[in-house]
């Protein structure tokens, strides 16, 4: 009897251990045609997103499950596009790759570039290989495989009419400000302004706010977009200087330069922006449709039992 229960308990423990065991980086997570995507590839991709996405995407079980699925889908789609590009004879030369790498690195010092790689948890050679794949896919997609994108004037007009509220521009006021850390300093500056001293000059020399570099000039600010302390500016006249206004930022003195009434942007004004937006949306849809078509033409297998066990 003892042996019977011992064997039963042993079998149960083996089953529980095997079902909860952490999967290895080398385990196959998916097959895209004859090529495999490993658990390690998914983990690397997830780790690269850690400094970009909110922490709850990784900490909440349901959110992490969704993130794993989306990340794996992205890896599959990219693998399909790489395969298709290679089938069509597209290649990325070393010269093209080095040019792209140099272009990207030009925005960093070498120290900052290495710090960026370390923060994202990615090896330089892996990063370079990803860059090469991205270039290959971009070259393939830009070859015309997705077809032309055409946006008509009628579509632009329809978008304009359907997004009516987007084109309203609130009234705005052009102001300068001086900010001090004490009321006494603000009072001294206010007294000097009342005697006719130049506002921009005093702002440049005595204000503690960042725009002191431009004489306290904040440009035009739309109504309701700045903290409440700025609301007083909408009750003033051009050329008028405000009393001292305290806030959590310090003590403010404002000068109103000019007003702009509330307006509505015309179709002609926003047509280029609308066209750009519609072109982007159409390109994205064409890409999705193309990826779906290619996926249906190829055998893609996802091992869901492995995906469920993937952790970081």
- pLDDT of amino acid 21: 60
Q: Is the pTM of this model over 0.75?
A: no
Taking 80 as the threshold, does the pLDDT of residue 127 lie above it? yes
CATH number corresponding to 21-147+289-309: 1.10.4030.10
**Phi, psi for 252 (deg, rounded to 5):** -105, 145
Instruction: Give the residue-averaged pLDDT of 193-202.
Output: 96
pLDDT tens readout for residues 83-124? 999 999 999 999 999 999 999 999 899 999 999 888 888 889
Q: Average per-residue pLDDT in the chain?
A: 91
- Residue 212 to residue 207: CA distance in whole angstroms: 6
pLDDT tens readout for residues 20-38? 468 999 999 999 999 999 9
- pLDDT of amino acid 12: 46
**In which residue are the tokens 């423990």 written?**
13
pLDDT tens readout for residues 42-80? 999 999 898 789 999 999 999 999 999 999 999 999 999
CATH number corresponding to 171-261: 3.10.50.40
**In which residue are the tokens 């001090």 written?**
180
209 exposed, middle or buried (CB, 10 Å; 0-12, 13-18, 19+)?
middle
Instruction: Give the residue-averaged pLDDT of 171-188.
Output: 97
pLDDT band for position 7 (50/70/90)? very low
**In which residue are the tokens 């003892």 written?**
2
Residues 6+ apart with CB under 8 A from 8: none
Name the residue among 254, 243, 244, 248 with its Cα closest to residue 211.
254
* Domain boundary assignment for the chain: 21-147+289-309, 171-261
β-bridge mates for residue 62, sequence order: none
Strands 250-260, 35-38: pairing is unpaired
Output b/e per residue, 218-255; b: 16+ Cβ within 10 A: beebeeeeeeebbeebeebeeeeebebbeeeebbbbbb
pLDDT tens readout for residues 221-247? 999 899 999 999 999 999 999 999 999
- Residue 267 to residue 132: CA distance in whole angstroms: 41
**One fold for both 21-147+289-309 and 171-261?**
no
- Residue 64 to residue 70: CA distance in whole angstroms: 10
Taking 80 as the threshold, does the pLDDT of residue 14 lie above it? no
């Amino acid at each position: 009897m003892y042996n019977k229960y011992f064997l039963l308990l042993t079998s149960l423990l083996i089953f529980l251990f095997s079902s909860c065991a952490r999967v290895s980086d080398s385990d196959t997570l998916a097959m895209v045609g004859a090529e495999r995507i490993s658990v390690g590839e998914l983990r690397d991709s997830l780790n690269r997103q850690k400094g970009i996405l909110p922490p709850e995407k990784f900490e909440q079980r349901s959110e992490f499950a969704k993130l794993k699925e989306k990340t794996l889908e992205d890896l599959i789609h990219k693998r399909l596009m790489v395969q298709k590009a290679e089938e069509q004879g597209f290649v990325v030369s070393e010269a093209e790759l080095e040019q792209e790498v140099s272009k990207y690195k030009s925005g960093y010092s070498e120290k900052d570039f290495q710090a960026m790689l370390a923060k994202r948890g990615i090896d330089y050679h892996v990063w370079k290989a990803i860059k090469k794949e991205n270039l290959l896919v971009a070259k393939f997609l830009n070859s015309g495989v997705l077809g032309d994108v055409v946006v008509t004037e009628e579509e632009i007009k329809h978008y304009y009419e359907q997004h009516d509220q987007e084109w309203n521009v609130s009234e705005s006021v052009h102001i300068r400000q001086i900010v001090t850390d004490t009321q006494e300093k603000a009072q001294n500056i206010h007294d000097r302004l009342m005697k006719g001293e130049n506002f921009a000059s005093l702002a440049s020399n005595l204000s503690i706010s960042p725009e002191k570099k431009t004489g306290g000039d904040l440009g035009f600010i739309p109504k309701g977009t700045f903290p409440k302390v700025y609301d007083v500016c909408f009750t003033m006249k051009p050329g008028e200087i405000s009393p001292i206004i305290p806030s959590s930022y310090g003590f403010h003195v404002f000068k109103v330069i000019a007003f702009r009434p509330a307006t509505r942007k015309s179709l002609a004004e926003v047509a280029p922006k609308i066209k750009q937006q519609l072109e982007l949306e159409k390109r994205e849809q064409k890409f999705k449709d193309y990826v779906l078509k290619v996926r249906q033409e190829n055998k893609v297998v996802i091992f869901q039992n492995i995906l469920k066990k993937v952790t970081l």
